[in-house]
C-alpha cells in the first residue's frame, strides 16, 4: 500500500473543546517506520546476547562444580595412598609376629610362573605374600668398581646380542653386597654365571650376582641391604674379575639403572 504524500491526524476531545489537527509528511511516516523496525531489531539482538551470556554463566558454573569434584577425588586418592602405606606397615609387623620366613623355589627365568602357582597350603601362601609385598626392590649398587659393560636389550635379527645386566670390575675378593632386602632363593654354580647368588625382593623384583669367587650366603637366608653375600671373582664364562649384576622385574630383565640411581662407588 502506497504511503500518501500528507497524512492528517485529528484529535477529537470528549468535552466541548475544539478539535486538533496535525499534518505528517510522507518522509516523517517513513522515518517513524524505520525507527520502529530498528528498535525491534535492537531489542531482539539484546535479548539474544543476554541469552548467550546466561548460557556461558551456566557453563562456567558447571565447570566449577566439575573442578570441585576433581579436587575432592584427588584428596581421596592421597588419603587412600596414606592408608595403603599404613596397611603395608601393619602387614609387615603382622608377618614378623607370625614368624614368616623363607619362600618357595622360583623359576630361574620367570618370577611370574612362581607367583601364578597355586600354593600348597596357607603357610606357603603366607610366605609367598611376604616375599612379594613386604620387602622393597633393589635400592643400591652391589659392589664398588668400574662399569665395564652396560645393559643391552639386543636384537638377534640384527646380530646384536643381549646383555641382561651390568658388569662391574674390581679386584678379586671385592665384597659383593645385597642390593636390597630379600631372601636368597638360589646360591650355587652355573655353567655361564659360575658361582652366583639370586635374591628375591618385594614387588616382583629379583637380583642376580654372577661370576663370584666365593659365596657368603646360602639358599633360604634372609639378607638386608648392604649385607655381604659374596666376593668378586671370574668363575664361569668370564675372562676377567668382575661382577655380572642383573635386575629382574615380574620375570623380565630390566636395566639396573632404571631402579638404582647414580653409578657404583669406585675403590
Higher pLDDT among residues 98 and 253, named by residue = 253
Checking if the pLDDT of 34 tops 60, the result is: yes
Q: Per-residue pLDDT tens for 152-206?
A: 998 878 888 899 999 999 999 999 999 999 999 999 999 999 999 999 998 889 9
Assigned superfamily of 146-258: Glucose Permease (Domain IIA) (2.70.70.10)
Lowest mean pLDDT among 21-30, 218-227, 255-264: 21-30
Q: Using alpha carbons only, what angle is made at residue 36 by residues 31 and 42, rounded to the nearest 5 degrees?
A: 125
> What pLDDT band is residue 16 in, cutting at 50, 70 and 90?
low
Measured between alpha carbons, how far is residue 185 from residues 24, 73, 217 in Å?
111, 42, 11
Instruction: Phi first, then psi: give them for residue 14, nearest 5 degrees.
Output: -75, -30
Q: Per-residue pLDDT tens for 37-79?
A: 777 777 778 777 767 677 777 777 787 877 777 777 777 777 7
Domain range list for the chain: 1-11+18-99, 146-258
- For residues 19-30, average pLDDT: 68
For residues 101 and 190, give the distance between their C-alpha atoms in angstroms, rounded to a whole number: 26
Amino acid at each position: 500500500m502506497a504511503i500518501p504524500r500528507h497524512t492528517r491526524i485529528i484529535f477529537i476531545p470528549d468535552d466541548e473543546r475544539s478539535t486538533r489537527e496535525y499534518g505528517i509528511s510522507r518522509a516523517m511516516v517513513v522515518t517513524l517506520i524505520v525507527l520502529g523496525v530498528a528498535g525491534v531489531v535492537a531489542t531482539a539482538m539484546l535479548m539474544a546476547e543476554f541469552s548467550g551470556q546466561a548460557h556461558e554463566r551456566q557453563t562456567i558454573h558447571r565447570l566449577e562444580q566439575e573442578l570441585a569434584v576433581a579436587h575432592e577425588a584427588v584428596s581421596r586418592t592421597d588419603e587412600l595412598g596414606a592408608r595403603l602405606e599404613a596397611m603395608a606397615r601393619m602387614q609387615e609387623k603382622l608377618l614378623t609376629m607370625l614368624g614368616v620366613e623363607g619362600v618357595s623355589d622360583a623359576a630361574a627365568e620367570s618370577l611370574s610362573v612362581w607367583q601364578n602357582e597355586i600354593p600348597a597350603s596357607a603357610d606357603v601362601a603366607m610366605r609367598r605374600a611376604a616375599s612379594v609385598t613386604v620387602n622393597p626392590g633393589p635400592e643400591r649398587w652391589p659392589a664398588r668398581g668400574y662399569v665395564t659393560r652396560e645393559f643391552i636389550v639386543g636384537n638377534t635379527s640384527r646380530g646384536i646380542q643381549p646383555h641382561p645386566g651390568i658388569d662391574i670390575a674390581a679386584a678379586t675378593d671385592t665384597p659383593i653386597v645385597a642390593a636390597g632386602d630379600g631372601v636368597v632363593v638360589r646360591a650355587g654354580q652355573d655353567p655361564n654365571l659360575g658361582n652366583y647368588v639370586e635374591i628375591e625382593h618385594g614387588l616382583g623384583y629379583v637380583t642376580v650376582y654372577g661370576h663370584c669367587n666365593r659365596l657368603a650366603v646360602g639358599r633360604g637366608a634372609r639378607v638386608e641391604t648392604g649385607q655381604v653375600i659374596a666376593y668378586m671373582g671370574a668363575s664361569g664364562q668370564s675372562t676377567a674379575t668382575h661382577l655380572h649384576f642383573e635386575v629382574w622385574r615380574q620375570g623380565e630383565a630390566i636395566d639396573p639403572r632404571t631402579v638404582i640411581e647414580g653409578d657404583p662407588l669406585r675403590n
